[in-house]
Structure 1
Amino acid sequence: MTGMIPAAKPLIGEEEREAVDRVLRSGMIAQGPEVAAFEEEFSQLVGGRHCVAVNSGTSALHLALIAMGVKPGDEVIVPSFTFAATANAVKLAGAEPVFVDIELDHFCIDPAAVEAAITPRTAAIMPVHLYGHPAAMDKLVPIAEKHGLAIIEDACQAHAASLNGQPVGTFGLTAAFSLYPTKNMTSGEGGMIVTPDAQLARTLRLLRNQGMEKRYHNEIVGFNTRMTDIHAAIGRVQLKKLAGWTEQRQRNARFLDEHIKAAVVPPVAPGAVHVYHQYTIRVEGASAADRDAFAQKLADRGVGSGVYYPVPVHKLPSFGLELDLPQTEKACREVLSLPVHPALTQEDLERVVEAVNA
C-alpha cells in the first residue's frame, strides 16, 4: 500500500511564498494595502458587496452579530449540527443560541424547525451552508421577512457556493466566511465579513480596529481582530486559484457519487451549487461505534476521513442542553467525510472508492 490519503490538505505553492516575501520586504506587515486589495477582490465572489477582512471566521460571525445590534436578551436561531463557532459567536455577543434540527439530506438547518422556534425574543437566524452546500435560503428568507428578523449567513465552509444562481453570502444583511487552512481557500488564518450596507461596513471596520478609523480617535468600543497584510497576500493568491480548485472538487465528487455503492452519497438540492468543502457520506443505520469502525477500516486501507461533527453543539459541555433533535443526532452517528480536495489523483480517487465499497 502507498501512503495515507489525507482527508484534507492545504495547498500552498510558490506564488503564496513569493507574496509573503513581497510583504515582508515592504516593511508593511500589519493591516494595510494588501488587506484593502484582498477585500476588493473578494467582493467579486459576493456580487460586489462590501468586504471587511478579520483574523478568523469566528471573529467574522462575532462582529457581524454585534454590528447588527444583537445584544443580551436576544435569541439567535442556529443549527446544532455545525462547528461550535456558530453558537459560540452568539454567546460572545451576549445573546442566546436557540438550537434547531437539520434536514438530513443536505445537513443544513430545517426551515420548518426555524419557524417553529421563533419567539418575541428572536433577533436573527444564522443558517450554516454546511460542507459547502447552500442552506435552503429560498425558504429561510421569506420566513425572516415575515417575522422581521435579520439573517446572518455562516458561509465559512461555502466559498463560491450558490442557490438558484445567487452566491451564498448575498442572502442576508451580513455573512461570514472563514479562511482557515483546510477551507476551500485560505489566508493562513482569517475571515471575511460581507454586507451590502456601507454604514454597516464602516461599523464593522471600527469594531475590528479598537473602534477607530482615525488613529487614536476611538469612536466606539472595539476589538483587535484585524487581518495582517501577510495573511491577505496569501488570500489574494488563493482567491485566483479558487475557481479551478472548486471545479476539481466537483469533478472528484462526481466520480465518488458515481462509484460509491456502500454508503449514502451527498445529494445536491435543485438549483444548488455544492462546492464540497467536505464530501460527506452517511453510513446509514450505523451507531457512532459502527461508523468509527468503518473509518478505522478505511484508515487501515490508507484512506483518511473525518467526522464533522460527532457531538451536537447543544450537547457539548459548553452548552449542556437536552433537546429533541432527531435528525441532528442521526447525522452525528452516521456522517463520515472522505477526501475530495484538489490534490487527489485519479489513483487516489479509485483507492477511496475501493476502500469504501470494501
Structure 2
Amino acid sequence: MASDLPPPRLTRDLTQPEAIPEAGIARALELMRSGRLFRYGEMGADQLDVSRLEEEFAAFVGRRYCVAVNSGGAAMFLALKVAGVAPGDPVLVNGFTLAPVPGAILHAAAKPVVVEIGRDCVIDPDDLVRKASSSGAKVLLLSHMRGHIADMDRVLETCTGHGIALVEDCAHALCTSYRGRTIGTFGVSAAFSAQAYKHLNAGEGGFLVTDDPVMAGRAILHSGSYMLHGQHLSTPGPDVIETLSEHVPNFSMRMSALSAAILRPQLAELPRRAERWNRIHDRIAAGLARSQHLRVPERGGDHAYSATSVQFCVLGLDADAMEAVLERAQARGLPIKWFGAERQAGFTSAPRHWRYAGDQGPLTQTHRVLAQLCDIRTPLSLTDAECDLIAEIVRDAIEAVVAARRDGRHRQKASRSSSQGREP
C-alpha cells in the first residue's frame, strides 16, 4: 500500500558556510576596537595581519611570494597585468568557468579567446592546440573550475611549445594536486579566492602567488602599497620594488587587516575541511550514480581534488524537461544550479552569455556539455543522511520527469493509432 506521506524535504541551507574560528573572531574584535583596519601602519604600528597571512599562504601553496588583495577577480586581473598582458592582447581561457574570469581579461583591456571543454568539464587539449596556433595568444588563463583538473602535462606541453605563459585560476582548487604537484604551482602565477563559498572565507578576498620577484614586486605596487612595501614579509626586497616604483600604477586592491585576521586561523583548518568536503562529495556522487540518467564527471586518478560542490550531467533531456527537474527538486528544498539555462543565474554562466567577450563562434562542444551540467553546493555541515537525501531528490525528480515524458509519448502514439483506425 502506497504511503500518503509527502516525500522528505531537504531543510538545510546549502549556502551556509562554516563558522569563523574563535581565534579569528577574537582578533577581528581586537582590530575593530583599535580602529586599525588598514593593512599598513603609516606611523610604524604593528599592522602585520595581512603580511603574516601572505607569508603563511605562500608557504601553504608552495610559492615564494604572495600578495593579498580584495577579491579573487582582482588577483586574476593583477596576475594578467604582471604577466605582461597589454590592451588588445588575446588571452586564452577555457569555456567552463564563471563570469569573473573572462571579466578579468576584459578588465586588463585584453580579448578573451574561449577554448572548448571536454565531457569531463576540463579544457580540451586538442582545441587548446588549435587556438594557441591560430590566436597568437601569449597567455592562457586556465580556470580550474569547481576543482576539476585538466591534463596538466598536455597543457604545459602546449604552452611551452607556443611560448604561452600559464596563469592559473585556483578559486576552486585550493588543496588540490596533479601527480603530486600542487595546483597553483604550474603557472608563472596563480590566483586564489577567499569569497564566502570558497575553501577560505573572508566574505571577499584573494591571493596572487608567484615565484617571480619582478611579478611579485609589480603586484605589490599595483595592489596599492603607498611605498610602505617594507611592511611586507613575502617580498622580493626593496631593491626590486624601488626599481619598479615609478613605472607601476596603484590600482588600490589591497586586502584589509580585518579580512586577514579572519582568514589566518582558517589555514590550519584546511586539511580537515578538504577531507570532509571530499567525503560529502563522494557520498552524494555515489548516490547520483545509481541513476541511469545521470553521469558524474570523472576526476582523474592522477590528481587529488578538494570539492566544495558536486557536479553531474543529466542525460537525454531537453531544456523544458531540465526546467521541470529543477522545479521538482526545488519543491523538495533542493536548489540545483544549471549551466545550460537560457539566462545566467547566480553563480552559473556559459560562454554564450559573455557577449562582452566578442564573437567566439558556436563552441558547440562546450555548450553541449554545459546544457547537461548541474551543480549543487556542499556545505561542510551536511550529514550523511542529508547527502543521501540530496541524491534521492535528484534521482526522484529525474525519474518523475522521464516517466511523465514517456507516458506522454505513449498517449500520443495511442491517439494516433486510434485516429488511423477510424473509418473515414
* TM-score range normalised by the length of the shorter chain: over 0.9
Letter in 1 for 2:175: A
Query: 8 Å contact 1:6–1:305 — kept in the other structure?
Result: no
Contact 1:75–1:96 (CA<8 Å) still a contact in 2? yes
Which string of whole-angstrom CA distances, capped at 9 and with x for unpartnered residues, describes residues 151-197 of structure 1? Answer: 00011111111110111110000110111101122122101001011
Q: Secondary structure at the match of 1:176?
A: strand
Counterpart pick for 2:331 among 276, 297, 300: 300
Distance 1:175-1:188 versus aligned 2 partners, 3 A rule: same
2:269 corresponds to which of 241, 248, 252: 241
Q: Structure 1 unaligned runs (5+)? A: none
Worse-matched range after superposition: 93-102 or 316-325: 316-325
Q: Is the aligned partner of 1:317 residue 2:355?
A: yes
| Root mean square deviation of aligned Cα | 2.1
Instruction: Tell me which residue corresponds to 1:286.
Output: 317
After TM superposition, the structure 1 = structure 2 runs for residues 88-127 of structure 1, keeping only pairs within 5 Å, are 88-105=103-120, 107-118=121-132, 119=134, 121-127=136-142
Equivalent position amino acid for 2:124 in 1: D
Alpha-carbon separation, structure 2, partners of 1:332 and 1:101: 11
Match of 1:331 in 2: 369
Q: How far has the Cα of 1:213 moved from its partner?
A: 4.5
Q: 2:14 aligns with which of 7, 10, 23?
A: 7
Q: Superposition pairs for residues 129-208 of structure 1, below 5 Å?
A: 129-208=144-223
Higher mean alpha-carbon deviation, 95-104 vs 253-262, is at: 253-262
- CA apart distance, 1:92: 1.4
Pick the aligned partner of 1:82 from 76, 83, 97.
97
Are the equivalent residues in 1 in contact too, given 2:87–2:109 (CA < 8 A)? yes
C-alpha separation between the residues in 2 aligned to 1:226 and 1:340?
30
User: Matched residues in 2 for 1:355 and 1:328: separation?
Assistant: 27
Helix, strand or coil: the match of 2:326?
helix
Partner of residue 420, structure 2 = none
Distance 2:91 2:124 in 1: 15
Deviation at 1:6, TM superposition (A): 3.1
Q: What residue number does 2:35 align with?
A: 27
1:54, 1:60 within 8 Å by CA — same for their partners in 2?
yes
In 2, Cα distance between equivalents of 1:256 and 1:109? 25
Rounded Cα–Cα distance in structure 2 between residues aligned with 1:270 and 1:171: 18
Of the structure 1 ranges 29-38 and 7-16, higher mean CA displacement relative to structure 2 is found in 7-16
Q: Tell me the CA shift for residue 39 of structure 1.
A: 0.8
Q: Quick check: 1:211–1:223 contact (8 Å CA) kept in 2?
A: no
**SS of 2:255 mapped into structure 1:** coil
- The TM-score normalised by the length of structure 1 is 0.93
**Contiguous gaps of at least 5 residues in structure 2:** 1-7, 40-46, 231-241, 342-348, 397-424
| Distance (Å, rounded) in 1 between the aligned partners of 2:338 and 2:273 | 23
In structure 1, the residue matched to 2:413 is none
For 2:252 and 2:92, locate their aligned partners in 1 and report how far apart those are by CA, in whole Å.
27
User: Which whole-Å CA distance do the structure 1 matches of 2:113 and 2:226 have between them?
Assistant: 29
1:252 maps to 2:280: yes
Quote the residue 1:354 is aligned against. 392
- The alignment's TM-score, normalised by the length of structure 2, stands at 0.79
Once residues 135 and 372 of structure 2 are traced to their aligned partners in structure 1, the CA distance between those partners, rounded to angstroms, is 35
Q: Please give the alpha-carbon distance, in whole angstroms, between the structure 2 residues aligned to 1:303 and 1:5.
A: 9
> How far apart, CA to CA, are the structure 1 residues paired with 2:148 and 2:74?
22
Do the aligned partners of 2:93 and 2:140 also contact (CA within 8 Å) in 1?
yes
Deviation at 1:58, TM superposition (A): 0.6
Shift of 1:2: 5.5
